[in-house]
Chains A and B, each alone.
Chain A
Amino acid sequence: MLKYTFDWSIVTSGKYFEWLVSGLKVTLELSVVGIVCAFILGLLIAVLKMSHYRPVRWIATAYLEFFRNTPLLVQIFFWYFGSYKVLPAAVNEWLNSTNFEFAAAAIALTIYTSAFIAEDIRSGILSIPKEQMEAARSAGFSYLRSMQYIILPQAVRITIPPLVNQFLNLAKNSSLAMSIGVMELTYQARQVESYTFKGFEAFTAATVVYLGLSVVITALMDLYNKKVLNPQRA
Chain B
Amino acid sequence: MIKFEGVHKWFKKLHVLNGIDLHVKQGEVVVVCGPSGSGKSTLIRTINQLEPIEEGTLVVDGMDLRSKKTDLNKLRAEVGFVFQQFNLYPHLSVIDNITLAPIKIRKTSKKEAQEQAMELLERVGLAVKRDAYPTQLSGGQQQRVAIARALAMKPRIMLFDEPTSALDPEMIGEVLAVMQDLASTGMTMVCVTHEMGFAREVSDRVVFMDHGVILEEAQPEEFFRNPQHDRAKQFLKQLLSPMH
Contacts and interface: CB of A to CB of B under 8 A. Distances in A.
A141 B101 contact: yes
B89 A157 contact: no
A154 B90 contact: yes
Nearest to A140: B77
Contacts of B83: 131, 134-135
B87 A232 contact: no
Contacts of A142: 73
A89 to B, nearest CB: 45
Interface stretch (A33-41, A145-153, A159-167): A145-153
Interface residues of A, number: 19
B81 interface: yes
Contacts of B78: 140
A123 interface: no
Contacts of B101: 139-141
B199 interface: no
Interface in B71-89: 73-74, 76-81, 83, 85, 87-89
Given A145-B104, A149-B100, A140 B73 contact: yes
B177 interface: no
Contacts, number: 58
Given A135-B87, A232-B136, A149 B48 contact: no
Contacts of A135: 81, 83, 87-89
B91 A138 contact: no
Contacts of B77: 139-140
A136 B73 CA distance: 10
B89 A150 contact: yes
A131 B85 contact: yes
Contacts of A153: 91
B87 A134 contact: yes
Contacts of A57: none
Q: Is the interface of A mostly helix, strand, loop or mixed?
A: helix
A141 B89 contact: no
Contacts of A131: 83, 85, 87
B87 A139 contact: no
Interface in B120-151: 133, 135-136, 149-150
A132 interface: yes
A68 interface: no
A136 to B, nearest CB: 8
Interface string A66-77: 000000000000
A141 B105 contact: yes
Nearest to A156: B91
B239 interface: no
A131 B134 CA distance: 15
B87 A140 contact: no
Given A131-B87, A132-B87, A138 B73 contact: no
B157 to A, nearest CB: 12
Contacts of A157: 91
B153 A140 contact: yes
B104 A149 contact: yes
B136 A139 contact: no
Interface string B22-33: 000000000000
Contact of A137 (B76, B93, B135): B76
Interface of B: 48, 50, 73-74, 76-81, 83, 85, 87-91, 93, 100-101, 104-105, 133, 135-136, 149-150, 153
10 contacts: A131-B83, A131-B85, A132-B89, A134-B50, A138-B50, A138-B79, A142-B73, A145-B104, A150-B89, A150-B100
Given A138-B76, A142-B73, 16 more contacts: A131-B85, A131-B87, A135-B81, A135-B83, A137-B50, A138-B79, A139-B76, A139-B105, A140-B77, A140-B101, A141-B73, A141-B101, A145-B104, A150-B89, A153-B91, A232-B93
